Amino acid sequence: MSTITAGPAESTLAAADFDTLSGGLTEPDVIAAARAAAWARFTSLPWPTKKSEEWRYTDLTKVGFEALTPVVPAPATAETLSADVREVLGRSGERAGVVVLREGRVAHLELEPEVARSGVVLSSIRDAADRHPEVLRRALLEAQPGPAEEKLWALHLALLGGGYFLYVPRGVEMPAPIHAFHIVERAGTLSSAHSFVYGESGARAAVIDEFFSDDLDAETVSLHGATITGEGGAGIDYVALQRFGRGVKRFSTQHVVAGRDSRVVTFNVALGGDLSRADVTSRLDGPGSDSEMLALWFGDSDQHFDHHTLQHHAAPHAHSDLLFKGALTDAGSSVFRGLIRVDKGAQLTDAYQTNRNLLLSERSHASALPNLEIEADDVRCSHGATIGQVEDGQLFYLMSRGLTRRQAERLLVFGFFDEVLGRLPMEGVRARVREAIEEKIGL
C-alpha cells in the first residue's frame, strides 16, 4: 500500500500536483503506481488540437480543464439509495446488483446474496486491487490507447476517484444485470471513474452504466473509462446510457477484449450534456470471437456528439458488426469516425461497419468518416455511412393524421432508432433505454 500526503483540499487542475490529486489516501500499490505513471504522462503530453485529424471536428481548447476543481480519490461509503435512483430501479426490472457513484466515488454498492454465493464479485476498485491485482494491473498499466485518446486517458487514470469491479467466475451465468449510476452534482468539477467487467471462460454477465445530473450552472467535466474482458466462450453485454444535464461535458474511453469464442456486445446511448466524446475500441483476440458495437444519439439545441471506434481484428475467424445511428435537430452536431483494422494473420475475418445520420433541421450537421485498414487477404469487410434529411412525405403523412410537425419528427426518430434498439439482447435493459429516449425526444 502507498500513502501520499495531501496538499490543499481544493485546487484547480492548473495548480494541482500529484500529491494534491491523491488526497492523502492510502491506496493499493497497483492503483497508486498506475495513477502516478498516468499523471507523469499527462503532464508531458500536449493537448490535442484541431490540427489532429482525430480532433478536427471537436475543439478541446474550448473546454476549460485547467480551471476545474479535480475531485480527489476517497474511500467508498455506504449511503442509502436516493429516491431518484430507487425510482429508476423500480422501472428497470430485475437486477443482480447496484452501484452508485457520486463524482466518481463509490457511495453505495450491493450484490444480491444468491449471486454472491455463485462466486461473483462486485466491489470497489480499491477492494478489488487486493483480490485481483493482476487483472487490474493489466487493465490500468498495460492498456495502450491510440494517440487521439492518450492525453485524456492519462488524465482519467491520474484522477481516478473510484469505480467498480465486476468479476464473474468460469461458467457462472448471472440472472440479471448490474445497474450502476454515475451521478454528478457539483458544478465546476472534474471527476473520473472506471468500470471493470471481467468474465472468465463461459461466464455470462450484463451491465448498464447510467450517467446523469441536473442542469449545472458552470462547466463540469466527467471522465469515464470502461474495461470489458470476456475470456473463452464468455458472453458480456455492456450498456452506457448518458443523460447528463446541460453544463456537463463527458469524455469516455472503452476498451473491449474478446477471447476465443466469446461474444461482447456494447451499446452506447448519448442523450444529454453539452459535449459527449466516446472512444470505443474492440479487440478480437481469439479465433471465433464476436463483437457487436451499437450506439445511438439524439442531439438538440447546440449539443455535440463525437464517436470514434476501432474494430481491431487480431485473430483469425472472428466477427464484428458495428451499427451507430444518430438524429439531430436545432443546431445539434455529431461526428463518427470508425476504423476496421485487420492484422496480417487475421484471415477469414468477417467485419461490418454502418453509420446512419438523420437531420431534422437545416442548422444540424453530421460528419461521417468510415475507414478500412486490411493486411490480410482472405476477409469479408464492408463499411458505409449515410447522412440525410427526414423525408417530407413521411412528415406529411403523420401530420395529416393530426400530429404537429414536432410530434411527427419525434415519432420518426423513434422508428429510426428501432433497428438498433431491437438488437439489445436484454428486454429489461431495452425497456430502460426506450424509456430514456422517450423522455428525451418528448414522446
pLDDT over 60 at 31, yes or no: yes
pLDDT over 80 at 442, yes or no: no
In whole angstroms, how far apart are CA 316 and each of 238, 375, 380, 406? 24, 12, 12, 48
pLDDT over 60 at 3, yes or no: no
Give tens-digit pLDDT for 345-394: 999 999 999 999 999 888 999 999 999 999 999 999 999 999 998 877 87
pLDDT over 60 at 7, yes or no: no
Q: What is the mean pLDDT of residues 333-339?
A: 96
Q: What is the mean pLDDT of residues 313-328?
A: 96
pLDDT-based confidence at residue 443 (cuts at 50, 70, 90): low
Give tens-digit pLDDT for 45-57: 999 888 888 899 9
Cell of 306: 463525437
pLDDT over 50 at 121, yes or no: yes
**226 vs 83, which has greater pLDDT?**
226
pLDDT-based confidence at residue 15 (cuts at 50, 70, 90): confident
**138 vs 303, which has greater pLDDT?**
303
Q: What is the mean pLDDT of residues 107-128?
A: 92
Q: What is the mean pLDDT of residues 160-186?
A: 93
Q: List the Cα angle 132/134/135 in 5-degree steps.
A: 70
Cell of 315: 485473430
Rounded CA-CA distance 326/305 in Å is: 9
The pLDDT score that the predictor gives to residue 401 is 82
SS (H, E, C) the chain: CEECCCCCCCCCHHHCCHHHHHCCCEECHHHHHHHHHHHHHHHHCCCCCCCCHHHCCCCHHHCCHHHCEECCCCCCCCCCCCHHHHHHHHHCCCCCEEEEEECCEEEEEEECHHHHHCCCEEEEHHHHHHHCHHHHHHHHHCCCCCCCCHHHHHHHHHCCCEEEEEEECCCCECCCCEEEEEECCCCCEEEEEEEEEEECCCCEEEEEEEEECCCCCCCEEEEEEEEEEECCCCEEEEEEEEECCCCEEEEEEEEEEECCCCEEEEEEEECCCCEEEEEEEEEECCCCCEEEEEEEEEECCCCEEEEEEEEEECCCCCEEEEEEEEEECCCCEEEEEEEEEECCCCCCCEEEEEEEEEECCCCCEEEEEEEEEECCCCCEEEEEEEEEECCHHHHHHHHCCCCCHHHHHHHHHHHHHHHHHCCCCCHHHHHHHHHHHHHHHCC
The pLDDT score that the predictor gives to residue 1 is 46
Classify the C-alpha dihedral 418-424-427-430 as positive or negative: negative
pLDDT-based confidence at residue 63 (cuts at 50, 70, 90): very high
Q: What is the mean pLDDT of residues 387-409?
A: 81
Q: What is the mean pLDDT of residues 259-279?
A: 96
pLDDT above 90 coverage of the chain, percent = 61
CB neighbours of 115 closer than 8 A, spacing ≥ 6?
A: 96, 97, 174, 175
The pLDDT score that the predictor gives to residue 92 is 67
SS (H, E, C) 332-359: CEEEEEEEEEECCCCCCCEEEEEEEEEE
The average confidence (pLDDT) of the chain is 88
The pLDDT score that the predictor gives to residue 95 is 86
pLDDT over 80 at 310, yes or no: yes
Name the least confident of 60-74, 215-229, 255-269: 60-74
pLDDT-based confidence at residue 142 (cuts at 50, 70, 90): low
Provide the b/e sequence for 131-148 (b: ≥16 CB within 10 Å): ebeebbbebbeebebeeb
CB neighbours of 400 closer than 8 A, spacing ≥ 6?
A: none
Q: What is the mean pLDDT of residues 306-326?
A: 97
pLDDT-based confidence at residue 144 (cuts at 50, 70, 90): low
Nearest CA to 182 among 140, 220, 230, 139? Answer: 220
